[in-house]
Amino acid sequence: MRQTYSSTSHNNRGSVLIMQGRLDAARSELEAAVQDDPGNVTALTNLGYLLSREGKLDEAILLYQKAIGINPFYAVAHNNLGLAYTEKELYAEAAEAYARAISADPNYTVARMNLAQLYHVQGELNAAVEAYRAYLRVRPGDTQALYNLGVVYLAKGLQDQAASAFWQAIRSDRDHAAARINLGAILARKGQWDQALEMLMPVIEKDPDQMRVRYHLALAYVGKGDLARAAAQLESILSREDSLQAANNLALIYSEMGNEEASIGLLNSCLANHQGNAALHLNLGFVYQRIARFQDAALHFRKVVELESEASERSKKALEKLAEIGEVVLPASGTSPEAPEFRRG
């Protein structure tokens, strides 16, 4: 005799099959659950979720709306409707659906996180801050929410608030690499070199291929006056990848260490593929001037003036240097790439 199941049993079996990745079998069970009880909002929502995974968003939305029509206080259906709207890039509708999920169940943190992340990726930073803070009032100490809040504060230019959020995330999870990297960068920008190193070193020890971390470590070592360790970090970057920024800054460090030939060689190597980079020409001019090769220095300072607009800081600096060595050049307008972080005076 064939065994029969209730709508609830079909739904439960379907849920297990979804988790096992057996989606065809799951769909059969969920359809049977809805057929046996058209008012089973859990089965309707689970079937909508399954259709959403298959990319059938419009069908999924209809099922979520049907479930909500039966039970307006079923938060999961509102949340999943918000996810479907988000995937369809209907962001206003998604925000409204998440808000209704939260209204139905204020402790439903999944919807609170989804709403905060929606505001975040949409660039609605003030709303994102409030949404993450509301989430943290329900779930204090949540590492991901604290980290995300720190990222939003950074985007708003609020470094102190960002640092506080990252600190709290790290207290929750000492191995949270992204929080350590961002906090280390903030500390380095504030000139708190030892604290920056303390924050960043565990990350690089665990993952030596974190090139962004090595760059921040180099900046911290430069701030401490430890040029040898700064050079070692930049050399490590260049041993793993081609980085114009790392090479340019390493050349400046070599010059500061008195290794002018290494500095010149590295800058000329960069210029071979980046002739239009005014920052490279300016730095090479500095190095040549430092070792009294004034003709070579003037050549590169003039190149900066050709590449940059008269109002640019690099053009003004190049003209000052040309005046120091007895050259006068009329500046011409142009464009240049972003200046590196370790520029000379």
**Among 10-14, 199-203, 259-263, 264-268, whose mean pLDDT is lowest?**
10-14
Give the residue among 111, 162, 118, 119 at the shortest CA–CA distance from 135.
111
User: What totals of helices (H) and strands (E) does the chain contain, helices first?
Assistant: 19, 0
Helix axes of 278-290 and 260-271: crossing angle, nearest 10 degrees: 160
Q: Which pLDDT belongs to residue 339?
A: 41
Q: Both tokens of residue 307? A: 């590449």
Spell out a b/e string for 201-225, using b for 16 or more CB atoms within 10 Å of the CB, else e: eebbeeeeebbebbbbbbbbbbbee
Q: Which pLDDT belongs to residue 21?
A: 80
**Residue 147, helix vs strand vs coil:** helix
- Name residue, tokens 């996180």: 113
Q: Which pLDDT belongs to residue 46?
A: 87
Give Cα 52 to chain centroid, integer Å.
Answer: 28
- Going from N- to C-terminal start, the domains of the chain cover 1-105
Residue 164 has pLDDT above 60, yes or no: yes
Mean pLDDT of the chain: 89
pTM across the whole model:
0.79
Residue 329 has pLDDT above 80, yes or no: no
Give residue-wise pLDDT tens across range 53-110. Answer: 889 999 999 999 999 999 999 999 999 999 999 999 999 999 999 999 999 999 999 9
Residue 262 has pLDDT above 60, yes or no: yes
Architecture of the domain whose range is 1-105 = Alpha Horseshoe (1.25)
Q: Which pLDDT belongs to residue 2?
A: 40
Mean per-residue pLDDT, 338-342: 45
Give residue-wise pLDDT tens across range 226-253. Answer: 999 999 999 999 999 999 999 999 999 9
Give residue-wise pLDDT tens across range 115-156. Answer: 999 999 999 999 999 999 999 999 999 999 999 999 999 999
Q: Which pLDDT belongs to residue 112?
A: 97
